[in-house]
Structure formats: C-alpha cells, structure tokens
Amino acid sequence: MSSSVTPTSKPVKTTGLHVGDAAPGVRKVDPILIADGVRRTFGGLTAVDVEHVEIPRGAITALIGPNGAGKTTFFNLLTGFDKPDTGTWSFDGRSLAHVPAYRVARMGLIRTFQLTKSLALLSVMENMKLGAKNQVGENLFRSLIPSIWRKQDGEIEAKAMELLTRFKLDAKKDDYAASMSGGQRKLLEMARALMSDPTLVMLDEPMAGVNPALKQSLLDHILDLKASGMTVLFVEHDMHMVRHIADWVIVMAEGKVVAEGDPHKVMENPAVIDAYLGAHHDTDLGADSEHVEALKELIDDEQ
Amino acid sequence: MDWGAIFGNAAVELISPTTAAYALAALGLAIHFGYTGLLNFGQAGFMLLGAYGYAIPALKLGWPFWACVLTALAASVIFALILGIPTLRLRADYLAIVTIAAAEVLRLIFTTNEFRAVTGSANGLSEFQVDLLALNPFPPGRYGFGPFVFDNRVWFFLVIAWIVVAIAAVFTWLIMRSPWGRVVKGIREDEDAVRALGKNVYSYKIQSLILGGLLGTLAGILFVLPRAVVPSYFQPTLTFVIYAVLLLGGAATILGPIVGSIVFWVLLSFFSGFVSRAVTAGWFPFMTQVQAGQLRFILVGVAIMLIVVFMPQGLLGNKKELAFVK
C-alpha cells in the first residue's frame, strides 16, 4: 500500500523553520498561529493542555498523536468550534480568543472536518459557491434583487468551475453532493475550503477512508496548496504520508505537545515512541526470570 | 345522492380564503422547515398573533386596517425573537419544544377571562373587518359562476387572500434562488459546515424564523377575515394540519404548500359531503350523523398517509432527493 501512495514527483521540503533546538514549543522564524496555555477539560478529563505552540507560515505542518491525544479538540479550539477553559491564541497577529467560528473563517483560517460535511442535498456547484466570501447576495434585502448579485455570482461560479476542474469534479457539478463517494466528498470539502482564498487551511484527517488512488491525488492537492502560498496544518494517522509531505511535525499525547521536529527526526524521538507504543514497550513482560529462579529454589527446598 | 352538491362544495374549497390562509401558513413553514431545517411547531402561535394583532387594535383602538396589519407583523417579529434568541444556538429539537409550548401559552393567555375586556376570552372578537370592508370594490349582492357563487364580502377577502399568497410565493421564490437561500439550505444540511465557511449561522436562522413567522402571521389575518377571532382555532392541531399540508405538497418547494392546501381542503370537503349524505341515504346504517362528521378527518388522514407513504417527497417535491434520504 505504501508504494501506491508515493507521488510521482518528490516534494520540496521547506527547512529552517525553527529557532534553536527542536523541542516542544520551539519558536518559529515566522509563525502564523501562536497558541499559549490553551487548556480544555471535559469534567475531570483534560483533553487539551498546550503550553506553547507555534505553526510555521508557508509550510505543511502535521499534527500527529495516538487516538485520544486531543488533536481534534485542539483543532476545534483553534477554529472557534469549542471554547477553552483558559488560554490565548492568535492568528496572523490577531487574537482569536472568544472569536466565533464564522469570524475565524472570515479571517482566512478555514478548516475541514474529520467526518466530511458535504451539504448532501445541495448540488456540488452550490456547495462550492457557498464557500466564497463577501457575497452581496447573502444579505436578505439585497438577495431580492438579482441584478445586484448576479454579476458576482457569475464570477464565483467561474472560480468554482476552475477549482472543480482542478479537483476533477467538474463532471459532477450538477449532481447532489450526496451522490458522491466518500473520497470525492473529501475532495469537494477541500475544494470548497479553497473558494475563500484562505491563508491557513486546517485539514482534519484528510486521508481517512480514502482509497490509495485518491490518496495520491489528495497528496498532490495538499502540496499544491503550499506551492500557491498557503499554510497547511493537518491531523493524520498515516505516517507514510506525514513523512512524505510534512515540513514540520508536532506530536501530541494526552493533550500535551510532547515533541516537535522535522518528520524524519521526530519519529526517532523517544517521547514519540512512548506516546504511540507506551513507555514500557521494550520491557519483556513474558518471563520474569528473577521470580522464576526464586520459585525454583523454594520448590527445591520443599523436596 | 346529490353528487353535484358534493363536488360543487369541494370545488369551492379550491379558491376559498381559508385555503389561501393555510397555503400561506404552510409557505411560512416551508421557509422554516423545508429550507432552513428549523422545527417550528408553533405556527399556530404566529397565526394567533396575526388574528389578534389585527382584531384588537381595530376594535379597541379604532385603528385603520394597515396599522392593524403592521401591529400584527410587529408582534410576530417580537415573538420570533423571543423564541429564537435563546434556542437557536442549541440543537434543533429545543426550538420545537419551545415553540409548541409558547404557542399554547399564547392561546391560553387569549382564552383566559382575566383579559376578557381586550381579548373577548373564549368568545373571541368579531366585526373587526369594518374598516377594511369600507374599501370593498365589489358591489353588494351574490354572484359568480358554476359552484363559485359568493357574496361581495367573501369575494373581497378571497381576492385579497390570493393576492397576498401570490406575493408571498414570489418573494419566497426570489430569496430561495439567491445566495441567501443557498446559505439557508446549507444550514439545513449541516450548520457546522456552513459556519466553517464563514457564515453567521445564528443570524440566518433568526432571519428565517422571523420571515416564516411573518408569513404565518399574515396567514392568521387572512384566516380570520371571513370569520370571528376565537382562540380555539389556534390549537396545536392547527400547526399539525399545516405540517400535513406542507408535506403533502412538498417541503422544500414554493408551490407545494399552495397545492397541498388546495388538495387538503378539497379532499376534506369532498369526504365531509360524501359521508354526511351517505349516512342520510342509509349507506352506513351503523353510523350517526355526528360520527360521520368525524369520519371525514379519518379519511383525510388515510389519504395523507397514502400520499406520504407512496410519494414521500410530496406532490411537487423532487423525487431525486429521496435516493439519498435514509
């Protein structure tokens, strides 16, 4: 399987993103998103407790960690879909604390969801057009007079068509989004996010449930985002993909950032191995020799 | 058996002002439920505000009809805000609970003897149409053609009602084909996705609640114009019947509510006339005239069930949608 997801061209990695040693919370040369003391508890469970983390601009950053590490919760907090107990975080120098989700999106920070949220009974084209920002026709009173919004709507449609062609969904433009396969919906969701010309795209498990052939094209699309100047932050479990396209990796475990670094080095970090495999993964629990010896002696004594 | 009278009476319902009022109320629900996905179970409350909002200023303050209409619309907006502001941030079901309760609270307030001087309590209010009737362009008398013979008063209300329905339908069509309508339909499908695209979902839901409520309020006015205002008209059953009309015609359609209302009232009148005459003619010896009066609702219920089972998209709904609804 791994071989089938390898893109044809080798992606160009961005390096020199951090200042000093690659430790958790390391400073970045040009951070786009900075989070400080973000903490979220659900009853007695601390889901996220991030002291300090910076996301580098213009690069692809992967957020990895075992299940339950708090990656998706952290995503929700950053995008205004959930409110933290404490903490401050800023995007492009503007504070995002207490900013509702729709305003976060308007600032240029667009996210996708782990379970795709395509608008099922809207056509693919309508899904795309919904993604465009600052539409005059979205005001109730202006919507009544088509001549006010028709021109802009035409421009939006042209742009949507261009993106759909790029994502090879143009043939489906008049179908209901509900009629598409899971992988196509992932593509649609990503294309829709691009309608607003975001500066930071946050993808929550873009590869989950996608077949290898489609993974290939999704990978290329993510690399394209970087090439066109966007910053990408994504959550992913597929380590091969992370190694392949990420410029920087942030590892979370039990709500905390436990390691950071470039994808090849970070995988060798003991904290990362502990997070995934447990701290005692190389201890032999099967035969405890000391006890066995003691037991043998006891038996001998009795005889 | 007088089939002519049965069909004649049924035909009258094609264009009666009550049919128009139900169509308009259902159009309001189409905005709420069909397009935005808001579960408003208090449409009867919006209609009640229309009826009393019109009748009370007309009778007690002697206001001209247009001021009465504006009063009713203002009351409707305030009601929508009171319902929407606390509940629309929550999950969809909370709106359903709050609206059905609020509509009942309103009905009971208007029924109680405490405010008899203003509301007329259970007896309601009548003769509030005087100011509007002064503008009646139809000369006195009864006229018409075929089964459609009414007096000038009914003709006047009938014309007003269908003009209002037509304007409301064009209005709804205009907003639903615009980018505004696109956002609202997106909210119906998945509001988090729409929020993630930078749309203020809460504001759109409030706008939709107000708009659909205003249509409900206008429907309330149209509904009481040919009769007196009595609080017992505005039972929760009224809301359910309007939902039936909406689903019959097609939830996310413009003409569906209108066709649904016409079909509903024609069927109701037909069964009513048929059963009552059949009992008189001795076809149902086991049944009294009073029981026959109830049977028509059973028959209409069965007819609606058949339509919903075999045409779940409604008469005018898009059959393609069904392929994806589980």
Locate the domains of chain B by residue range: 17-251
Q: What is the largest CA-CA distance in chain B?
A: 67
Dihedral over Cα of B161, B42, B258, B36: its sign: positive
Residue entry with tokens 């059905």: B100
Which pLDDT belongs to residue A290?
63
In the predicted model, is pLDDT for residue B54 greater than 90? yes
Which pLDDT belongs to residue B232?
93
Which pLDDT belongs to residue A236?
87
B153-205 pLDDT tens trace: 999 999 999 999 999 999 999 999 999 999 999 999 999 999 999 999 999 99
Quote the radius of gyration of chain B (alpha carbons, Å).
Answer: 20
Which pLDDT belongs to residue B202?
94
Which pLDDT belongs to residue A3?
42
Q: Name residues whose C-beta falls within 8 Å of residue A141's C-beta, 6 or more positions apart in sequence.
A: none
Are A183 and A214 within 8 A, CB to CB?
Answer: yes
Which pLDDT belongs to residue A127?
94
In the predicted model, is pLDDT for residue A12 greater than 80? no
3 state SS of B67:
helix
Which pLDDT belongs to residue B276?
85
The residues in A 146-185 lying below 8 A from B, measured between CB atoms, are: 146, 149, 153, 176, 178-179
- Tell me which H or E stretch contains B192: helix B191-196
In the predicted model, is pLDDT for residue B286 greater than 90? no
The whole-angstrom separation of Cα B103 and Cα B213 is 12
Which pLDDT belongs to residue A294?
66
Which pLDDT belongs to residue A23?
78
3 state SS of A55:
strand
Please state the rounded mean pLDDT for residues A57-81.
Answer: 90
CA distance B21 to chain A (A): 24
Dihedral over Cα of B61, B67, B69, B72: its sign: negative
Which pLDDT belongs to residue B291?
83
Q: A287 pLDDT band (50/70/90 cuts)?
A: low
The conformation of residue A3, written as its DSSP 8-state character, comes to G
Which pLDDT belongs to residue A1?
39
Q: A300 pLDDT band (50/70/90 cuts)?
A: confident
Q: Which of B175, B193, B323 sits opposite A144 (nearest CB)?
A: B175
The whole-angstrom separation of Cα B21 and Cα B233 is 13
Which pLDDT belongs to residue A231?
94
- From B110, B128, B130, select the one nearest B120 (Cα to Cα): B110
In the predicted model, is pLDDT for residue A5 greater than 60? no
Q: Pick the residue from chain A with its C-alpha nearest to B188.
A: A119
* Pairwise pLDDT comparison (A292 vs A152), residue with the higher score: A152
Mean predicted lDDT score pLDDT of chain A: 86
Upper half-sphere CA count for residue A102 (Cβ side, 13 Å) = 19
Give the pairing type, strands A27-28 and A109-111. Answer: unpaired
Are A50 and A250 within 8 A, CB to CB?
Answer: no
A119 touches chain B (CB under 8 A): yes
Which pLDDT belongs to residue A2?
42
* Pairwise pLDDT comparison (A177 vs A273), residue with the higher score: A177
Q: Pick the residue from chain A with its C-alpha nearest to B190.
A: A119
Which pLDDT belongs to residue A4?
46
Please state the rounded mean pLDDT for residues B72-91.
Answer: 93
Which pLDDT belongs to residue A212?
82
Which pLDDT belongs to residue A16?
77
As given in the structure block, the two tokens for residue A274 are: 């502990």
Please state the rounded mean pLDDT for residues B292-309.
Answer: 81
Residue entry with tokens 């609606």: B304
Which amino acid is present at A262? D
The whole-angstrom separation of Cα A177 and Cα B298 is 39
Q: Which of B175, B193, B207 sits opposite A117 (nearest CB)?
A: B193
Q: Which residues of B touch A135 (CB under 8 A)?
A: 179
As for the ipTM of the complex, it is 0.85
Domains of chain A in start order, with CATH, are: 2-118+197-302 (3.40.50.300), 122-179 (no CATH)
Q: Which residues of A touch B185 (CB under 8 A)?
A: 119, 121-122, 126
* Pairwise pLDDT comparison (B100 vs B313), residue with the higher score: B100
A93-127 pLDDT tens trace: 889 888 999 999 999 999 999 888 888 889 999 99
* Helix, strand, coil content of chain B in percent (nearest 5): 75, 5, 20
Q: Which residues partner with A62 through β-bridges?
A: A234, A249
Q: Which residues of B touch A115 (CB under 8 A)?
A: none
As given in the structure block, the two tokens for residue B192 are: 């988090």
